[in-house]
Structure 1
Amino acid sequence: MPTTNPPAGPSAGLAEALGAPDPSVRLRAALAAGSSPGPGLLEVLVRRCAAEPDPFVRDMLTWSLTRLPADETLPRLRRELGSPVPRARAQALHTLSKLGDARAWAWVSGDLLRDPDDDVARTAWRTAVALAPDGERAGLAAALASQLGRGGRDVRLSLSRALVALGDAVAPALAGAAAGPDPEAAAHARATEALARDPEAGFDAALADARRLAALGPERAAAAAAGQGAGS
């Protein structure tokens, strides 16, 4: 008797559509997966997150993953956090932030905050802030403050926003960094303090002012800062 191959399941068809050259086809496929969530979709969605170049499609993939049972999705995303592919780690972190499940806090509050890839680290900062329990916020602030001075303008702004989002818990960590020996970290800490005081303040101007103060040295910077406060 002739042999026949078994019919491909829905995940096989989805994988094919998610790999289509046209991003609009991939977007529709991701939307369809989230609109009709079912068994067998988790693996293909997670795998596609690591390869998808279009940010709109990645967001739709994340939405589709949030439609699946969390008890199945969380362990698979935890595995993805250890992927050698930076995009896979970043997208897993982003999806965990959208799920908002407290069980993921311990997975995102360690080495990922210092990930060598800037995009992964930025996503880890945002995710950790979103998931941090109240009793862990001061510790998270200290961990984030260890990254002050890292990267270019966009990376530093992301870190400052994450720190500011921690509220009062961040004050001791910023004060320590502002008085520390690293001039770039000190300037970044001062700029973050300015951003916390006035969220509408321009980050670039605040960073430039903070660098000027840091260049004066600790004693002269303190005197200059006091003079600015008296004149305000």
Structure 2
Amino acid sequence: MTLPTPGTQAVPDTDAPTVPDGGTPAVPVTDTTARARRGLTDDRASVRLRAAMAVGASPDEALVATLIARCGAEPDFQVREALTWALTRHSPSATLPGLLGELRSERAQARSQALHTLSKIGDRRAWPAVTRALLCDPDDEVARSAWRAAVVLVPGGEEPGLAVVLSTQLGRGERETQLSLSRALTALGEVILPVLRAAIMGADPGVRAHAMATERLLRDPDAGFGWAIEEAKRIVALGGSGPEG
């Protein structure tokens, strides 16, 4: 899709999203911006993808609110990834207010995609917004995105506290969800060992097995999670608690 060159005459845009209080200042809307906005909301995924890529190639702060809104509603995975990439191409000062606002959305996809984008931006000013509620969100996709964002954004010295919160999710969900949690925990390093050992000594066999598998991955990152979790389940079934059990 060919877009007009920047710098063309500004035109009124009655569909421009409202900037919330405390958000980024209003940016003049040009005909380039208006055309890009139409592309981002087109019925065709291929058009939306091209529009997102074009915005990323030529960042336009007037489109930040539209990009964020599309992240929460976009059904196509490739387009969502392009939207996230386009947002990372803008200044964090322009993107953070809107993304942080999405973390309070009632829509799970909006929360999940905002967390995903924050993890890609990597600005630690977003850390306070990654709350315990998000880390324990009942929606698995939101929780997984929160785990990934948390280990990227956590300030130095706060890793042990994060490990404690993440450990409350051990045993949760199917294998894909459990693998995501194990990866997040192991990214924190040796600080996770006390919470893992406590979980391994607990009563819930699913939690014990997940904690054992996570500890194995910490010790041997090349070990496959599938093998590690099955081995941990076997040990739990036999009444053990790991290598020392």
- Please report the TM-score for the alignment, with normalisation by the length of structure 1: 0.88
2:98 aligned with 1:76, yes or no?
yes
Pick which of 188-197 and 62-71 moved more.
Answer: 62-71
| Deviations 1:2-29, CA, capped at 9 Å, x for gaps | xxxx654444433321222332211110
State the alpha-carbon separation in 1 of the partners of residues 108 and 136 from structure 2: 13
2:61 is matched with 39
Pick which of 76-85 and 12-21 moved more.
Answer: 12-21
| Equivalent residue for 1:197, pick from 209, 213, 219 | 219
State the alpha-carbon separation in 2 of the partners of residues 94 and 116 from structure 1: 17
- Kindly indicate whether the alpha-carbon contact (under 8 Å) linking 2:61 and 2:94 is maintained by their aligned counterparts in 1: no
2:87 aligned with 1:65, yes or no?
yes
Identity over the aligned pairs, expressed in percent? Answer: 54
What's the offset of the Cα at 1:198?
A: 1.2
**CA 110–11 in structure 1, closer or farther in 2 if over 3 Å, else same:** farther
1:188 is matched with 210
2:187 aligned with 1:169, yes or no?
no
Counterpart amino acid of 2:206? E
State the alpha-carbon separation in 2 of the partners of residues 122 and 31 from structure 1: 26
Counterpart amino acid of 1:99? I
2:168 aligned with 1:150, yes or no?
no
Structure 2 residue runs of 5 or longer lacking an equivalent are 1-10, 14-28
State the alpha-carbon separation in 1 of the partners of residues 197 and 80 from structure 2: 38
What's the offset of the Cα at 1:69?
A: 2.5
What's the offset of the Cα at 1:37?
A: 1.8
Q: Secondary structure at the match of 2:157?
A: helix
State the alpha-carbon separation in 1 of the partners of residues 149 and 44 from structure 2: 30
- Kindly indicate whether the alpha-carbon contact (under 8 Å) linking 1:109 and 1:128 is maintained by their aligned counterparts in 2: no
State the alpha-carbon separation in 2 of the partners of residues 173 and 189 from structure 1: 9
Which residues of 2 match residues 44-55 of structure 1 at below 5 A?
Answer: 44-55=66-77
1:139 is matched with 161
- Kindly indicate whether the alpha-carbon contact (under 8 Å) linking 1:11 and 1:44 is maintained by their aligned counterparts in 2: no
- Please report the TM-score for the alignment, with normalisation by the length of structure 2: 0.84
State the alpha-carbon separation in 1 of the partners of residues 175 and 58 from structure 2: 41
2:122 aligned with 1:104, yes or no?
no
2:23 is matched with none
Pick which of 147-156 and 134-143 moved more.
Answer: 134-143
Q: Which has the higher helix share?
A: 1
What's the offset of the Cα at 1:190?
A: 0.2
2:19 is matched with none
Counterpart amino acid of 1:22? R
2:243 is matched with 225
What's the offset of the Cα at 1:47?
A: 0.7
| Deviations 1:74-130, CA, capped at 9 Å, x for gaps | 111111001111111111001111111111111114210001110110010011001
Counterpart amino acid of 2:76? D
State the alpha-carbon separation in 2 of the partners of residues 98 and 85 from structure 1: 20
State the alpha-carbon separation in 2 of the partners of residues 186 and 147 from structure 1: 12
What's the offset of the Cα at 1:226?
A: 4.0
Counterpart amino acid of 2:243? A
State the alpha-carbon separation in 2 of the partners of residues 209 and 63 from structure 1: 39
What's the offset of the Cα at 1:183?
A: 1.0
Counterpart amino acid of 2:103? L
2:178 aligned with 1:178, yes or no?
no
Q: Secondary structure at the match of 2:206?
A: helix
State the alpha-carbon separation in 2 of the partners of residues 64 and 202 from structure 1: 34
| Equivalent residue for 1:122, pick from 139, 144, 161 | 144
| Equivalent residue for 1:93, pick from 102, 110, 115 | 115
